[in-house]
Amino acid sequence: MSETSLIGRRALVTGAAGGIGAAIARSLREAGAEVAIADIDLAAAEATAAAIGAHALRMDVRHRAEVEAGFARAVEQMGGCDILIGNAGVSTMAHALDITDEEWDFNLDVNARGIFLTNQIAARHFVAEGQGCIVNTASVGGKGGAPFLAHYCASKFAVIGWTQSLALELASKGIRVNAVCPGYTRTSMQSRELIWEAELRAITPEEMMAQYATLAPLGRNGSPEDVAGVVTFLCSDQARFMTGQSLNVDGGLVMH
């Protein structure tokens, strides 16, 4: 059996109805894992799950009771859980001096609190079972600040700090915790951000897209599949000696 095989493994992926999360779920399935897709949009989760042969459930990662119930449902559906992919995330854009309390809370609640809740609840299960693997979706925005994304960057810095700290605490229990940090990636979130940033910079969306495409040394924006491949690697035995890492998947945009 290949070391990248995930046959016999069971994974819960949050925010997986579309975009990077759906690509991760598909990649894990292709590697042989049984997968449960969790999303706040149950209908979309069910459609994605049907397309790849996965389970589906509703989960709002901002609320502990929903996360606990959703995780228990995933364990019931799959007969257990060995892998958590903390992927659910949101973004909004504004000048730092114009960010509202509501925008701040929205970004921090989903991106940081959601990782805290899903990781903690899954990790308690993994510790009891004596095995498990967690991969969180952070961002290159968690490695350095960006205009109009101060609140989003704050939430993703939090994800990286949490990932490192949790990895230190769980290493002795044989549980690995890592993160991926996507750069500019072709998703519906990026499409929204492109329009927002173009407006904030007073240029056209086409001009903004051209700027995005030239930022990465590899000369293109990433695809959800680019990120998914790295996540699947981190879940596999090939990454068995890696924990506490936050891997950039950004075409060379950030080199640390």
The CATH number linked to 80 is: 3.40.50.720
Q: pLDDT at position 195, please?
A: 78
Q: pLDDT at position 212, please?
A: 77
152 is catalytic: yes
36 occurs within a structural domain? yes
151 occurs within a structural domain? yes
SS3 of 38, please? strand
148 occurs within a structural domain? yes
Count CB atoms within 10 A of the CB of residue 8: 10
54 occurs within a structural domain? yes
SS3 of 136, please? strand
Total number of domains in the chain:
1
Show the tokens assigned to 141. Answer: 């925005």
**Which stretches of the chain drop beneath a pLDDT of 70?**
1-3
Catalytic choice (156, 173, 184, 212): 156
Q: Residue 46: which domain range? A: 10-183+223-249
156 is catalytic: yes
Q: pLDDT at position 103, please?
A: 97
User: Which pTM does this prediction carry?
Assistant: 0.93
Catalytic choice (143, 152, 184, 212): 152
